[in-house]
């Protein structure tokens, strides 16, 4: 017997959740009380009670001009809190472990912090890899595969991109125009690379993790440059695409 056949164990909660789902589908235009009651096949009094509880906690707000109800800040904050930098390592660690096992190379998880990439998690392969890597380490975003994957899909351009290049100082061999062309290439291919720009003999390939089209983190594979031939890089980015999606939290995708 399915859940829909036996009904919700707490009807009032179920109605509130159905109301939130309807408002999420409605988007910024929202829905009036009458429209909500009609779409949910409930009477107005029942829906109004659910809306009252949701408004009290900030999950719903009402436009004073139109009377339409829309999702409030507490609703949208739920996903932001769940996918915060503090939670991402725990949420994504199983995906990193699976990827490391599939490619037998060092795997990193990183996010943007100002003009830098911060390494939130890593999984090391069984075979040794001599690379200086630590959780909490920071590197200029424009010089790393992780950072380039994030910047390419984060809309960095113009003065913003110039600021990223300046922040890298002598570690960036490119100016803003060349960096913009590099990021355009990343968007075309769907993945970013870095060849011995942060550590001699070490290269990386990375993909961004997107939420509603916006990058929230990136995952990279790091290996000795001698192993990172064009053919191997293509194989590794295919492995990223083949391994990660099924293990990502709902709503998180690859390009």
Condensed to tens digits (0 to 9), the pLDDT of residues 54-102 reads: 999 999 999 988 899 999 999 888 887 887 778 889 999 999 999 999 9
Q: What is the pLDDT of residue 186?
A: 95
Residues with pLDDT less than 70, the chain: 1-9, 128-132
Give the residue from 16, 161, 144 showing the smallest Cα distance to 74: 16
* 18/93 same-domain check: no
Q: Are 210 and 102 contained in the same domain?
A: yes
Q: How far apart are CA 171 and CA 235, in angstroms?
A: 28
pLDDT at 168: 85
**If you compute the radius of gyration of the chain from its CA atoms, what whole number of angstroms results?**
23
Q: Which residue in 136, 124, 149 sits closest to 206, CA to CA?
A: 149
Lookup: tokens for 155: 């809309």
pLDDT of res. 169 = 84
Instruction: From 204, 160, 197, select the one nearest 180 (Cα to Cα).
Output: 160
pLDDT score of 1: 31
54 and 129 together in one domain: no
pLDDT at 120: 95
Domain count, the chain: 2
233 and 200 together in one domain: yes
Which of 31, 56, 79 is the C-terminal boundary of a domain?
79
181 and 215 assigned to the same domain = yes
Same domain, 45 and 59: yes
Domain ranges, residue 212: 83-253
Domain boundary among 27, 47, 79: 79
Asked if 143 and 22 sit in the same domain, the reply is: no
Confidence (pLDDT) at 227: 92
Task: Kindly state whether residues 242 and 189 are assigned to the same domain.
Answer: yes
**CATH classification at residue 72:** 1.10.10.10
Of the three residues 35, 52, 79, the one that is the final residue of a domain is 79
Q: Are residues 66 and 175 in the same domain?
A: no
147 and 234, same structural domain? Answer: yes
Same domain, 178 and 230: yes
Q: Same domain, yes or no, for 131 and 185?
A: yes
For residue 212, the domain's CATH number is 3.30.450.40
């Amino acid at each position: 017997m399915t859940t829909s056949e036996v009904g919700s164990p707490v009807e009032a909660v179920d109605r509130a959740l159905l109301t939130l789902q309807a408002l999420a589908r409605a988007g910024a235009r929202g829905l009036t009380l009458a429209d909500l009651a009609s779409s949910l096949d409930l009477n107005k009094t029942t829906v109004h009670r659910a809306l009252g509880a949701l408004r009290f906690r900030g999950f719903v707000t009402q436009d004073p001009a139109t009377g339409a109800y829309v999702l409030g800040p507490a609703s949208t904050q739920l996903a932001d809190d769940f996918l915060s930098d503090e939670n991402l390592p725990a949420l994504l660690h199983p995906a990193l472990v699976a990827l490391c096992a599939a490619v037998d190379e060092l795997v990193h998880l990183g996010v943007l912090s100002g003009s830098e990439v911060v390494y939130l998690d890593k999984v090391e392969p069984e075979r040794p890899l001599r690379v200086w890597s630590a959780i909490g380490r920071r590197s200029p975003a424009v010089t790393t595969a992780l950072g380039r994957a994030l910047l390419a899909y984060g809309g960095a351009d113009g003065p913003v991109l110039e600021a990223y290049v300046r922040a890298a100082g002598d570690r960036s061999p490119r100016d803003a125009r060349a960096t913009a062309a590099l990021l355009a290439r990343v968007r075309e291919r769907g993945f970013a690379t870095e060849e011995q720009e942060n550590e001699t003999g070490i290269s990386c390939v990375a993909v961004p993790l997107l939420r509603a089209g916006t990058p929230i983190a990136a995952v990279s594979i790091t290996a000795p440059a001698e192993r990172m031939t064009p053919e191997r890089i293509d194989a590794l980015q295919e492995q990223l695409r083949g391994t990660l999606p099924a293990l990502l939290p709902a709503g998180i995708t690859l390009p």
